[in-house]
Amino acid sequence: MNKTFLRYSSIRGYTARIFLFLVVVLFSSFTPMSVERIMMSMKSQSLHKGKVVNVDAELYYDQLTGSLITRYIQPAGQVLKTNDKGELSIYNEKENTVTYRQGAEYSTESNMVLFFLQGKIQDLGLSDFGFQLMSTKFEEDMVITEWFPPAELFHLFNRIEMVHKDFVPIYIAYYDARRNLAKKVFYSQYEYLEDVSFPTLVTEFNYVGNDSIINRIRFSEIKTNQQAVSSWFDYTIPEDAQLKR
């Protein structure tokens, strides 16, 4: 077997892997959302300068209305309600007060959970925000892509790097405008919900100067569609809640 044939075989194998990856990306980007309703428990643990902060919450998302309800168990007494229009309501049960906010950053359309449920595993919604694919390369069984930000985000990002394995994202890195690593996120312990893959463990490393903040988010007790039954899906903030500015 000559060297030319070996080189050709290697190139052909590499091309086949690229083709397979692009086919998966193409079809996943047009996958209809099979999870129309979901409820789950969320446990978040943040570590910063030796201090640990624990947060327990329950999430209720309805795709039909675009509404996401977050009920905090610990610390108790707060309910967040947002929708796909970016309208956020923060209700304090103890004080019976409500605060309103509005902005694209509050929209359920930009929520990490929703990207997975919509099957947007090829870019986790980056293309929706105007990011452009810069490069694609393979290392062993991983696919590494780099994404270039739109002009309006130049002041925040230099680029974003994403790593896929077995066609699901396992790692994403954000580089700030000075090309410094600002944040790393690892996705693991995937489960199948209907016909979509969903990570039940998300680990974040946020870099602030010479320090870092570590967040670990774990999802459990996940129920979808007909199994997702709760009065919290229809939750409304009490009419007598006092407006807090």
Taking only the tens place, the pLDDT of each residue in 83-135 is 888 899 999 999 999 999 998 777 877 677 778 887 788 898 898 889 999 99
- Give domain status of residue 18, yes or no: no
pLDDT at 10: 40
Contacts of 48 (CB under 8 A, 6+ apart): 211, 212, 213, 214
- Give domain status of residue 142, yes or no: yes
- Give domain status of residue 12, yes or no: no
Q: What is the mean pLDDT of the chain?
A: 84
Q: Give 69: exposed, middle or buried? Use CB within 10 Å, 0-12, 13-18, 19+.
A: buried
Confidence check: pLDDT of 142 > 90: yes
CATH code of the domain containing 67? 2.50.20.10
d(CA 29, CA 118): 8
**pTM exceeds cut of 0.85:** no
- Give domain status of residue 31, yes or no: no
74-85 tens-digit pLDDT? 888 899 999 888
In this structure, the strands spanning 51-62 and 181-193 are unpaired
- Give domain status of residue 6, yes or no: no
- Give domain status of residue 138, yes or no: yes
pLDDT at 33: 55
Residue 112's alpha-carbon distances to 11, 118, 124, 160, 193, in angstroms, are 36, 10, 7, 15, 15
pLDDT at 16: 41
pLDDT greater at residue 120 or residue 31 = 120
Domain count, the chain: 1
Q: What are phi and psi of 238, to 5 degrees?
A: -50, 140
CA 200 centroid distance within chain: 11
pLDDT at 11: 36
d(CA 158, CA 98): 37
CA end-to-end distance (rounded Å), the chain: 76
Confidence check: pLDDT of 18 > 50: no
pLDDT at 20: 39
39-62 tens-digit pLDDT? 999 999 999 888 999 999 999 999
Residue 213's alpha-carbon distances to 161, 183, 189, 205, 239, in angstroms, are 20, 10, 22, 6, 38
pLDDT at 72: 93
Residue 237 lies in domain: 36-243
158-181 tens-digit pLDDT? 999 999 999 899 999 999 999 999
Torsion of CA 46, 196, 184, 221, to 10 degrees: 10
- Give domain status of residue 27, yes or no: no
- Give domain status of residue 156, yes or no: yes
d(CA 166, CA 187): 13
pLDDT at 181: 94
pLDDT greater at residue 23 or residue 112 = 112
200-210 tens-digit pLDDT? 999 999 998 78
Contacts of 8 (CB under 8 A, 6+ apart): none
d(CA 9, CA 26): 25
